[in-house]
Chains A and B, each alone.
Chain A
Amino acid sequence: MSVFRINMIRNRPVPLPQRAAVAAPLLFGLFAVGVLLAWSINHAVWAVLEARQQQLRAALETDLFIQQHPRQPDVVRCAGALRTQLAEAAENLGIAEQLLTRRAPVAVALYQLTTALPPNVRLLSMEFASADHTLHFDLTIPIEADTRQTTPVLPPNEWANTPDIRNLVPDLRQESSQQTEYAGQPVFLVRYTATLKGCG
């Protein structure tokens, strides 16, 4: 916009203080970039060394594997085959687990019922209908000689007080009862029936 453009310092360099004012932020920026670059290079070198060591370790382990498993072509294929086998085994295990869950816990129920019985009461027989999971069993309860007992005192309180029995056979009930002899002793032969729970 100025017509007359006389400048007596046209060819003079910028004075040092002015250059310093501009140079200081530039130097700071340069230093920051340098530090960042050094950090990046350091990071990259460490990554390369780590990769190299990993590669050496993998080669050693491959050699060792081939020595130990001469029939296997290499680690990768072997790992693939093992992975497939593992998947198949897991699938089979799942099927087996499903089957097991569907199985009625007869042994558990029997153990719980008999453990809770007094020592003179014996389990005479047991039947399990797997179709409807119905459990039938017979108990012999000795008749005391000095008492005129006509009916057995059943069900035993121990069954009612045991939570596992209540869970396994919640509908445990007496089906029949009769007086008979067992091993030359007068006993009540009591038949119980229940439906087992906990079957998948």
Chain B
Amino acid sequence: MRNRPQQTRQVGLDVSDSHLAAAQVLLEHDGSIRLEAAGWSTPPPDADLPQMAEAVRQLFRQANLSRDAVCSAMISPGLVVKHFRHLNLKEAELARVLAIEAEETLQLPTSQLCLDWHRNVDHADGAPVDGVLVAMPKVELDRHLQMLALANIFPRIVDVGCLAVCNLYLHLKEMTPSDQATAVVCLARDRADIAILFGNHQIFPRTICSPRLTWGETNACLAECLSDTIKYHQFILHGPPVTRMVLTGAVPQPELLMDQLRKLVPQSEFWNPIFDLDSVNKNLLPRVETHSGALLATSLGLALRRDRS
């Protein structure tokens, strides 16, 4: 019997303190993507576990989302997304080294940590390996899963928001030439996930947090942090220069922010990924055509995950 590719449907759920966003994507057998349903909401401030679960349940009910295959991402103070570079190690050695690195960063024993990593592959033999280490306290992950279980959701995958956005970007957009880099910035209320993509799907991630509850009207802090990250990548890590910047996520006034960012990287743009999808539910289109559609960037990236391992 021929192994015919099937349609797959998955929901991406982006959970953070400032907002909840979910998108249900149908991946056709020809690779085209259709946004079937989506929704976003703001959970109550300082919501406890049952309140967050209720907010998620309401979001799924209102947006008529399926609970069968869900991929979620969480943002928590304990989440660490950091770049690593080590001598060329075997996989088992690298795992041990990264566990120690996570222990040092989070100041917790390995038994109380959850970690995973992505290894950049574009390396010659003997060259140092680099990639992205993701770690978080097990308690926080358990809390996240417990909250979802209260909402009767059992995710297949728990991913990280910035990598989900990168997956979406790489799926929908073309990579820049290998001697140039693209910075993908996913903005939240008090947090920004920056991922500099270069070479053959190599990544340098960085998460920056606002010292206040918001980025403020001037966005000066955000611009400074972005500048630092880009310079660190170019001058310390000797990565290719960032020639393009894409801004997505919860961006309250994109026009004002873009003017500031263009001073940093001239080819900067606000990205609403809805316009790059193959098709969108027509009932949903009026709501997501505005800059609110960018809120779904992380959840769309999560909904594209088709693997478990």
Chain A residues within 8 Å of B, Cβ to Cβ: 1-10, 14-15, 17-18
Contact = CB atoms under 8 A, between A and B. Distances in A.
A2 B307 contact: yes
27 contacts: A1-B31, A1-B304, A1-B306, A2-B171, A2-B305, A3-B166, A3-B167, A3-B170, A3-B201, A4-B163, A5-B118, A6-B116, A6-B163, A7-B116, A7-B157, A7-B158, A7-B308, A7-B309, A8-B114, A8-B136, A8-B158, A8-B160, A9-B155, A10-B308, A10-B309, A17-B149, A17-B154
B143 to A, nearest CB: 12
Q: Is the interface of A mostly helix, strand, loop or mixed?
A: loop
Contact of A9 (B145, B163, B203): B145
A4 to B, nearest CB: 4
Contact of B171 (A1, A9, A14, A15): A1
A2 B31 CA distance: 12
A7 B117 CA distance: 9
Identify the interface centre among A3, A8, A9, A18: most chain B CB within 10 Å of its CB: A8
Contacts, number: 66
Contact of B154 (A5, A7, A18): A18
B34 to A, nearest CB: 15
B159 interface: yes
Q: Is the interface of B mostly helix, strand, loop or mixed?
A: mixed
B304 A6 contact: no
A106 B183 CA distance: 127
B65 interface: no
Given A2-B304, A3-B201, A9 B141 contact: yes
B307 A5 contact: yes
Contacts of B160: 6, 8
Contacts of B164: 4
Contacts of A5: 118, 305, 307, 309
Contact of B132 (A4, A8, A10, A17): A4
Interface string B271-309: 000000000000000000000000000000000111111
